[in-house]
């Protein structure tokens, strides 16, 4: 492969060469299941889904692990406030995350391990760290000794003396910079037995134990949101390297999703739940909105920006359906070289989508000019490129699941596209009165037509 990825640790793009030939190993920090998912949560899953698809397109066998943090201070607190058991609260929201990922077209991970199912691996890792002098037990807790690891702060490019873990002071903690690997049991909280007393895992320990258990002591990519660089990923890297594991070759971080310039956060009351977006647009259109910007860029959410993505996606969709109705169903062909170059350049989805839209324009011109072969070839390239992005208009995952509804929608599309063909022919013949008459008929029937450089698109009024 000629893929180059930006590595947060070295702060430069590097050639992607997998640890094991023919296999790509990816660990993604998944959900902390304290509440329902918002679009800021699922952006990460979508971005690494695109990475997975591009690696698979390049012939690699991709092993993607996306964990679930199912025990955490916030989960315990919110479960208590709701009067529900902590495990039920976590399971409820774990299912909500899985439904959101599925609704937006994410392929299932190779495995989705829960933190509570991997305490033995965490105990083993703590033993290794204590035996090597990088961790210590104190009053039922276990802490990582930050100053025992000389490379601490390198991932986030910060001076350790200026950092704050965000953890409360505790008896027996030797240095305020040290962070908890294990938290001793407190009244009313769940706990698991260890040689240092009952308790529950610290957040950072979980991911180090699970990633290496499934992917080995060295793997290709560790991914997550930009907000995880410190302290979570800095601490993961430190404890894993200190234990002797080479850990991740690449650290990838997707940008955050903001609202009017502020990070989407429940504490600020500006979250946009996935369910709400799915009432405004279809899952494939929401996916287009979230994977269209470069994964490292910030997305500032607004309904207007979402609507622009809806219109843009429907241009692609309309072209593929026009070809299917007028020429025949296009297969999934080969990606355009412009698309491949963009994706190999650190997953450059904006430029990749520009190649998709350029191919749509070329295909529409061919179709309008009567070149059925060229139009079909263009549609096959479009299907190949959108398939990599999880946006293929003919992928069964984007069907409604209602055969009668899909048949009716297909019949409507064929009728509208036929009228649009008549309108295009009239405009080409400079019979603008006839073209306007077709548009008026469509408008009267509740079909809104929008002209664009990619060709006309249409939507139903009020839908």
Banded model confidence at residue 452, pLDDT cuts 50, 70, 90: low
Full 3-state SS string of 314-366: HHHHHHHHHHHHHCCCCCCCCCCHHHHHHHHECCCHHHHHHHHHHHHHHHHHH
In sign, the C-alpha dihedral spanning 13, 17, 23, 27 is negative
Helix (H, G, I), strand (E, B) or coil at 199: strand
Q: How far apart are CA 398 and CA 135, in angstroms?
A: 50
**Rounded percentage of the chain residues whose pLDDT exceeds 90:** 81
Name the DSSP class of 142: E
Confidence check: pLDDT of 289 > 90: yes
Whether 460 shows a pLDDT value over 80: the answer reads: no
Distance (Å, rounded) from C-alpha 256 to C-alpha 266?
A: 14
When pLDDT is averaged across residues 383-407 and rounded to a whole number, the result is 80
Phi, psi of 287 (to 5 degrees): -60, -45
Q: Please give the pLDDT value at position 400.
A: 61
CATH architecture of 4-254: 3-Layer(aba) Sandwich (3.40)
Burial group, residue 437, by CB count within 10 angstroms (0-12, 13-18, 19+)? middle
Question: Per-residue pLDDT tens for 68-115?
Answer: 999 999 999 999 999 999 999 999 999 999 999 999 999 999 999 999
Cα separation of the two ends of the chain: 43
Strands 299-301 and 257-259: parallel
Comparing 446 with 253, the larger pLDDT belongs to 253
pLDDT at residue 410, rounded to an integer: 55
C-alpha distance from residue 250 to each of 1, 226, 385, 440 (Å): 16, 14, 25, 56
Q: How much of the chain is helix, strand and coil, in % rounded to 5?
A: 50, 15, 35
For residue range 400-428, list pLDDT tens digits in order. Answer: 644 444 545 555 766 777 788 788 888 88
**Residue 226 confidence (pLDDT):** 96
* CA–CA dist 379, 319 (Å, integer): 7
Which pLDDT score is estimated for 414?
A: 63
Q: Are 98 and 92 in contact (CB under 8 A)?
A: no
Lowest-pLDDT range, 313-317, 375-379, 457-461?
Answer: 457-461
How many whole angstroms separate alpha carbon 352 and alpha carbon 291?
11
Q: Could you tell me the two tokens for 362? A: 């070329």
- Rounded Cα gap, residues 314 and 257, in angstroms: 23
pTM of the model: 0.88
Residue 454's pLDDT is what?
A: 59
Rounded mean pLDDT, 157-171 = 90
* Ranges 114-118, 191-195, 400-404: which has the least confidence: 400-404
Question: For residue 451, what pLDDT band results from cuts at 50, 70 and 90?
Answer: confident
Would you kindly state where each structural domain of the chain is located, as residue ranges?
4-254, 401-463
Place 66 in a pLDDT band, splitting at 50, 70 and 90.
very high
Three-state secondary-structure class, residue 304: helix
Point out the least confidently predicted range of 24-38, 159-173, 290-304, 335-349: 159-173
Position 179 confidence tier, pLDDT thresholds 50, 70, 90: very high
DSSP state of 232: I
Average pLDDT, the chain: 93
Q: What is the pLDDT of residue 105?
A: 98
- Structure token pair of residue 462: 């009020």
Across 60-88, b (16+ Cβ under 10 Å) vs e yields: bebbbbbbbbbbbeebbebbeeeeeebee
Rounded CA-CA distance 176/34 in Å is 27
């Amino acid at each position: 492969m000629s893929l180059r990825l930006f590595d947060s640790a070295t702060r430069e793009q590097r050639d992607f060469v997998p640890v094991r030939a023919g296999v790509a190993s990816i660990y993604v920090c998944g959900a902390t299941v304290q509440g329902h998912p918002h679009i800021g949560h699922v952006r990460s899953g979508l971005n690494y889904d695109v990475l997975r698809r591009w690696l698979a397109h390049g012939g690699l066998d991709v092993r993607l692990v996306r964990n679930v943090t199912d025990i955490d201070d916030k989960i315990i607190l919110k479960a208590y406030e709701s009067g529900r058991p902590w495990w039920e609260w976590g399971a409820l929201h774990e299912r909500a995350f899985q439904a959101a990922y599925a609704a937006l077209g994410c392929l299932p991970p190779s495995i989705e391990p829960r933190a509570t199912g991997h305490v033995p691996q965490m105990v083993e890792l703590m033993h290794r760290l204590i035996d090597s002098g990088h961790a210590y037990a104190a009053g039922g807790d276990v802490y990582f000794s930050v100053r025992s690891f000389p490379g601490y702060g390198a991932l986030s490019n910060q001076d350790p003396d200026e950092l704050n873990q965000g953890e409360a002071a505790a008896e027996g903690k030797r240095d305020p910079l040290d962070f908890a690997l294990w938290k001793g049991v407190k009244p009313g909280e769940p706990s698991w037995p260890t040689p240092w007393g009952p308790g529950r895992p610290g957040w950072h320990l979980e991911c180090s134990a699970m990633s290496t258990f499934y992917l080995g002591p060295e793997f290709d990519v560790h991914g997550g949101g930009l907000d995880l660089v410190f302290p979570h990923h800095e601490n993961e890297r430190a404890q894993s390297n200190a234990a002797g594991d080479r850990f991740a070759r690449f650290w990838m971080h997707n940008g955050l999703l903001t609202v009017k310039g502020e990070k989407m956060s429940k504490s600020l009351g500006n979250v946009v739940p996935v369910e709400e977006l799915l009432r405004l647009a279809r899952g494939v259109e929401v996916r287009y909105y979230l994977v269209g910007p470069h994964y490292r860029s910030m997305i500032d959410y607004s309904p207007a920006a979402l609507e622009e993505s809806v219109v843009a996606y429907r241009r692609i969709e309309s072209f593929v359906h026009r070809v299917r109705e007028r020429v025949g169903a296009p297969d999934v062909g080969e990606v355009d070289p412009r698309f491949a170059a963009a994706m190999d350049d650190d997953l450059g989805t904006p430029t990749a989508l520009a190649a998709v839209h350029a191919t749509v324009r070329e295909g529409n011109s061919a179709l309008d000019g009567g070149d059925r072969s060229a139009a079909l070839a263009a549609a096959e390239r479009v299907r190949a490129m959108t398939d990599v992005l999880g946006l293929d208009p003919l992928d069964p995952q984007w069907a409604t699941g209602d055969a009668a509804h899909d048949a009716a929608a297909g019949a409507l599309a064929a009728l509208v596209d036929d009228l649009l063909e008549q309108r295009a022919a009239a405009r080409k013949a400079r019979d603008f009165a006839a073209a306007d008459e077709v548009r008026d008929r469509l408008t009267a029937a509740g079909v809104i037509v929008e002209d664009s450089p990619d060709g006309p698109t249409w939507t139903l009024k009020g839908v």
